[in-house]
């Protein structure tokens, strides 16, 4: 296992198309998710929940999404139709991270969504630390009301991301990273 700083310095997403079996077993997944939900949570609202997609259910969900993509855009080129058809066939596990917004709490919605986003990021970090690969994807499906209905989301819930998890099926090169000096400034009055 990597130490925390090395983990941050080395973590990178593994494209979902390059993820295969095995996924974390039940015990490992439970350990990963128990760690992932340890996030900053203003007001202790727990403004998130998780949905696991795997096996036949994952493939059924993916097939339905492909049909929905074509319904949304009948002019979708064949190459994009194929991409939609295959999207959920690679990684053996997809965790849907859902934000649950408590509009009566007084805690700003953005803070609640960031809390849920931290869960998704912790899943990425934890999967990498455990030797798995993961990719956090959103795309049109994260914002589609029919998809929300299919996932049985309540009116106060929305998809933060679909985190695809599996074992990298080859070397995953890192991408270029921004230079800190281009991003850091010092505030002065």
Q: Which residues are annotated as a binding site?
A: 11-13, 38, 42, 136-138
Mean pLDDT of the chain: 96
Euclidean distance between CA atoms 86 and 124, whole angstroms:
22
Place 2 in a pLDDT band, splitting at 50, 70 and 90.
low
pTM beyond cutoff 0.75: yes
Q: Which residues are annotated as a binding site for FMN?
A: 11-13, 38, 42, 136-138
Tell me the Cα Rg of the chain: 18
The closest alpha carbon to 161, from 94, 100, 105, belongs to 94
CATH number of 13-55+91-170: 3.40.109.10
Can you list the positions of beta strands (E) in 4-155? 19-20, 48-54, 93-100, 133-137
- Omega into 22 within 30° of 0, i.e. cis? yes
Compute CA distances 77 → 66, 126, 137, 166, whole Å. Answer: 13, 36, 21, 29
**Per-domain residue ranges of the chain:** 13-55+91-170
What average pLDDT does range 74-99 have in this prediction? 95
What average pLDDT does range 29-56 have in this prediction? 98
- Which pLDDT value is given to residue 76? 93
């Amino acid at each position: 296992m990597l130490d925390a700083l090395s983990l941050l310095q080395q973590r990178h997403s593994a494209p979902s198309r390059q993820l295969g079996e095995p996924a974390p077993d039940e015990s490992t997944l439970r350990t990963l998710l128990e760690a992932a939900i340890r996030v900053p949570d203003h007001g202790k609202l727990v403004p998130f929940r998780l949905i696991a997609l795997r096996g036949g259910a994952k493939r059924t969900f993916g097939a339905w999404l492909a049909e929905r993509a074509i319904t949304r855009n009948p002019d979708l080129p064949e190459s994009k139709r194929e991409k939609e058809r295959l999207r959920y066939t690679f990684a053996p596990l997809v965790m849907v991270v859902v934000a649950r917004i408590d509009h009566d709490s007084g805690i700003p919605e953005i803070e609640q969504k960031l809390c849920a986003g931290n869960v998704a990021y912790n899943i990425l970090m934890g999967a990498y630390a455990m030797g798995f690969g993961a990719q956090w994807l959103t795309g049109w499906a994260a914002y589609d009301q029919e998809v929300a209905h299919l996932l049985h989301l309540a009116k106060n819930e929305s998809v933060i991301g679909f985190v695809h998890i599996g074992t990298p099926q080859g070397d995953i090169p890192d991408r270029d990273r921004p230079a800190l000096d281009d991003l850091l400034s010092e505030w002065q009055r």
